[in-house]
Amino acid sequence: MMATATRLDPQSELGLRPEQLPRHVAIIMDGNGRWAEERGVDRIKGHEAGAENVHEVVTHCARLGIDVLTLYSFSTENWQRPAEEIAHLMKLYVKYLIKERDEIMANGVRMVQLGRRDGLPDEVLHEMDKTISASKDNDGMTLCLALNYSSRVEIVDAVRSISERVKADELQPDQIDEQTISEALYTARLPDPDLLIRTAGEMRVSNFLLWQISYAELYVTDTFWPEFNRDSLNTALRAYARRGRRFGGL
């Protein structure tokens, strides 16, 4: 188990107490293509800039002591994009997993994947599995990479898993409750997101963690993902700390 890098003091960095920070931050990283279009360059350049930006956000969250960070990286719907763009995205994942492995270990980050493995290139799976295996005993932040992910597919997979337990007489239908479902999801044993951030100004959740974000605070910014930096994240965290979370109560 590798020791974590030097932590940041939330009071000094943000003017917030540690208990005011969300335990779990989920981010829909949107706007790479529009960022590129505004600059008159190919969309692929936008994805490259977005991939570079992941490093700053992951490192900052880890050093602030955020428990879980989930990044919506590639949805099952994204397979409908042009083949050339998909191929380049997959190369970027391989590059990121190799390049950031040492930094992930230095920050004590544990990486997991959310989503189906079917359809992902062998090279992506190989490098992803290496990072997951290397970091599995780290005790710092958990980094969830939502790759080939769809919340509806996740719920379908959970229902299938639960139905197999019922079929095997391990579980009775009247025993199924919210906890049963939560424990069958890809995010089992992780806290639900407290804060959902979406960049690039779109006002939708795009089939992302639909069960888990039931009570998440939503924060939408017009900033494109390649420009969503440490200061942008700090602004979102301060906005979260000002929210009154009543969970249906008074």
Could you list the active site residues?
30, 78
* Interhelix angle 83-99/122-135, nearest 10 degrees: 30
Burial classification of residue 113, based on how many CB atoms lie within 10 Å of its CB (0-12 exposed, 13-18 middle, 19 or more buried) = buried
If we measure between CA atoms, which residue out of 236, 239, 222 comes closest to residue 26? Answer: 236
Contact criterion met (CB below 8 Å) for 68 and 195: no
Place of tokens 């008159």: 40
106: enclosing H helix or E strand: helix 101-106
If we measure between CA atoms, which residue out of 136, 134, 142, 3 comes closest to residue 61? Answer: 142
10: left (phi over 0), alpha (psi -120 to 50) or beta: alpha
